[in-house]
Structure 1
């Protein structure tokens, strides 16, 4: 998967593609949040990147930031499997595989951690800039 291939696999990525000429490479982003919602059969993954947008929204103009977080929500989740969950999951490799009209297969792998599922739909739900002491 190349740097921006993930945006062609996710159903709706306007939140990212409107602000980045070249979207952040998921392999260079830190996974910092995972929410599994059994009521809505959804999984939300959130990422942090120090790759700053080439076309930030006007609302970000007055803010000082060195990091952008973005959330990707997967709905219609099936075949959810979790094997362990270790603190190293933050450095996990996230792989998205298109299933065509069937949706997307998601795999999150790090030593001691594995999360996998399929989803019928996916979209970027939020982007937010902030000043991180880890990124300085």
Structure 2
């Protein structure tokens, strides 16, 4: 694929406001994989490999060092998942595989994920945090979206359907 993964993201303004150069999806921490049978869609919750070059002042003042987001893929087909044991560090690849379709791969030593999806990727629930002991994301988060910031001060449990089912 000639385009960057960031070229497929909607709304792109969220990433562009934080990065002068959006990093490739190499050595990302994959925190969760959520399948939605009503989509069919798949959402990855990941930590990007590079902290933003243009973080909000409050992130810098708080010493935050990680950016987490959710990427939602729609019209998912041909899903193959093996060896999932979160969190996992993986390289995520996107390549064109047909008219307005992409093939997504995420592979590490411990797991493999491959599927096809529509070529528009939704991004949401961006937050910054400081990685805890063992690289955990259980501590406080500062969210970009005002609604997320109002509702959450850390990543909610998987029972919080509005956080995991909507971008």
TM range (shorter): 0.7 to 0.9
Q: Which residue in 1 is equivalent to 2:152?
A: none
**RMSD (Å), alpha carbons:** 2.8
Q: Using a 3 Å threshold, how does the CA distance of structure 1 residues 113 and 100 change in structure 2: closer, same or farther?
A: same
The aligned counterpart of 2:140 is: none
1:75 aligns with 2:68: no
Q: Which runs of 5+ in 2 are unaligned?
A: 137-167
SS in 2 for 1:26: coil
**Bigger shift: 126-135 or 70-79?**
126-135
Displacement of 1:65 after TM fit? Answer: 0.9
Mapped to 1, the partners of 2:6 and 2:115 lie a distance apart of 18
Q: Deviations over 1:50-104 (max 9, x none)?
A: 622122246646544111111111011122222x224377122211113464232
Q: CA deviation at 1:29?
A: 1.9
**TM-score normalised by the chain length of structure 1:** 0.78
Distance in 1 of aligned mates of 2:49 and 2:100 = 32
Structure 1 unaligned segments of length 5 or more: list them: none
TM-score of the superposed pair, with normalisation by structure 2: 0.66
Deviations 1:17-76 (A, max 9, x none): 221001122113211221111122111112213622122246646544111111111011
